């Protein structure tokens, strides 16, 4: 078994990423506790997330999850797959993030993603840059959140 910094490598190497090959995660149900904990952690306590009576008066018709909570869960679900466990070098950025539809308490979401581009790193020859397109889908397979994620991933040792 390969090891990186003393830990087993379970993730994909740069060379393993296949452009336009879809990957999927397991699902996760969004709870009221998720929303309350995220609000408390971040300080984002807008009434749309914390006050059901108020939220019912909005176009959403009830409380919804924070957009940033959705982004964090979308990424966290990928982490559960160990897709770059031991091979990931750095998160470089998020682009083109769009909140398509609300995430509601009781929704079960999963992430679908694919590599859209990759290239060798000019500044770190031991790694490569991987661009992935991520979509968070609800239980009806509706995309509720999407975005482009760029990271640096280790090359397979020779």
pLDDT band at 9, cuts 50/70/90? confident
The CATH number for 124's domain is 3.10.129.10
CA nearest to 149, candidates 99, 101, 100, 92: 92
pTM, whole model, 2 decimals? 0.91
Statement: residue 7 has pLDDT above 80? no
* Tens-place pLDDT, residues 42-89: 999 999 999 999 999 999 999 999 999 999 999 999 999 999 999 999
DSSP code of residue 157: P
CA nearest to 104, candidates 135, 77, 138, 133: 138
pLDDT at 1: 47
Q: Which domain holds residue 82?
A: 3-154
Which backbone phi and psi does 130 adopt, to 5 degrees?
Answer: -120, 130
Computed over every residue of the chain, the mean pLDDT equals: 95
Statement: residue 10 has pLDDT above 50? yes
CA nearest to 39, candidates 27, 28, 50: 50
* Overall number of domains in the chain: 1
Q: State the Cα–Cα distance between residues 52 and 65, nearest whole angstrom.
A: 12
Q: State the Cα–Cα distance between residues 119 and 64, nearest whole angstrom.
A: 38
Evaluate whether 19 touches 117 at the Cβ level (below 8 Å).
Answer: yes
């Amino acid at each position: 078994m390969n090891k990186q910094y003393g830990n087993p490598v379970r993730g994909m190497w740069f060379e393993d990423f296949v452009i336009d090959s879809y990957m999927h995660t397991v699902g996760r149900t969004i709870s009221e506790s998720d929303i309350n904990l995220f609000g408390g952690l971040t300080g984002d306590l807008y009434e749309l997330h914390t006050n059901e009576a108020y939220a019912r008066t909005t176009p959403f018709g009830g409380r919804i999850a924070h957009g940033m909570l959705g982004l964090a869960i979308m990424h966290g679900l990928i982490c559960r797959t160990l897709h770059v466990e031991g091979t990931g070098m750095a998160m470089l950025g998020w682009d083109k993030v769009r909140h398509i539809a609300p995430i509601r308490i009781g929704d079960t979401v999963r992430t679908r993603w694919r590599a859209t581009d990759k290239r060798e790193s000019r500044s770190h020859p031991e790694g490569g840059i991987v661009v992935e397109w991520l979509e968070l889908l609800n239980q009806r397979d509706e995309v509720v959140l999407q975005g482009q994620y760029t990271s640096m991933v280790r090359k397979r040792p020779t």
